[in-house]
Amino acid sequence: MLRVGVLVSGGGTNLQAIIDAIDSGIITNTEIEIVISNNPNAYALTRAQNHGIENICISPKTFENREQFNEALINKLDEKKLDLIVLAGCMVVLPAALIAKYRNRIINIHPALIPSFCGKGYYGLHVHEEVLKRGVKITGATVHFVDEGTDTGPIIAQKAVEVKWGDTPEVLQKRVMEEAEWKIMPYAINLIANNKIEVIDGKVKINQ
């Protein structure tokens, strides 16, 4: 069984997609051990609760300094003996020590086709605003391993989504979630759970 911890900050629709994919057998050999949010009001915590999954808030705001927050987060993740950490709409900058400790065992979903519309400052709705501003015809989503950079780690899965005339950022965000994010995140986790992924020279090889 792949022991997974999910880090969230908001609505948790990607978390829900993972929960549903485990329930329906799209993801096999996988168990969510814990859901952690930096935001006490994240609806993602309620989703975890509704599904009987351990869930807690670890917020930087409740610690004296960042070091103490980092330590608490790492300790909690270590305690759960996780094989994989999934960032599902997690808006917290992870401690470098965590990234080094869990090398190629942390994945993130980004709401664009990396290397477009990614990097510092590109998160959430803002990504879709920039996509619309530039007028590209195709956007999408990417699941990648997390390294020390922002959205620079090895790419596991991508899916393209059409941008339509008249889209608002909200409309486009919803289409990207429905057509891409909620599909490629479960797909990527299932590959990892079934040992189908190798990282070679910073690139992901999928062995089907």
- The interface mask with ligand GAR, positions 158-177, x = CB under 6 A, is -------------------x
- Does residue 70 belong to the site contacting ligand GAR (CB under 6 A)? no
Per-residue b or e along 41-67, where b marks 16 or more CB atoms closer than 10 Å to that residue's CB: ebbbbebbeebebebeebeeeeeeeee
CB of 58 to ligand GAR, least distance (A): 17
Contact residue for ligand GAR among 18, 109, 113, 197 (CB under 6 A): 109
CB 8 within 8 A of CB 25: no
Contact residue for ligand GAR among 5, 13, 21, 45 (CB under 6 A): 13
Stretch that binds ligand GAR, among 11-19, 58-66, 94-102, 157-165 (CB under 6 A): 11-19
CB of 191 to ligand GAR, least distance (A): 18
At residue 106's C-alpha, the angle toward residues 80 and 89, to 5°, is 95
Q: State yes or no: is 126 an active-site residue.
A: no
- Does residue 88 belong to the site contacting ligand GAR (CB under 6 A)? yes
CB 67 within 8 A of CB 58: no
- Does residue 89 belong to the site contacting ligand GAR (CB under 6 A)? yes
- Does residue 10 belong to the site contacting ligand GAR (CB under 6 A)? yes
Instruction: Return the number of the residue (1 or 149) whose C-beta is nearest ligand GAR.
Output: 149
Angle between helices 13-24 and 182-193 (to 10 degrees): 50
Question: Distance of CA 64 to CAs 7, 40, 69, 72, 171, Å?
Answer: 21, 17, 8, 12, 39
Instruction: Return the number of the residue (130 or 181) whose C-beta is nearest ligand GAR.
Output: 181
Torsion angle in degrees (nearest 10) through CA of 44, 75, 203, 197:
-80
> Scanning the structure block, which residue is given the tokens 């979630």?
177
- Does residue 130 belong to the site contacting ligand GAR (CB under 6 A)? no
Torsion angle in degrees (nearest 10) through CA of 56, 60, 65, 69:
40
Contact residue for ligand GAR among 124, 169, 174, 179 (CB under 6 A): 124
Q: Which residues lie near ligand GAR (CB under 6 A)?
A: 8, 10-14, 44, 88-89, 109-111, 123-124, 127, 177, 181
Positions annotated as catalytic residues are 110
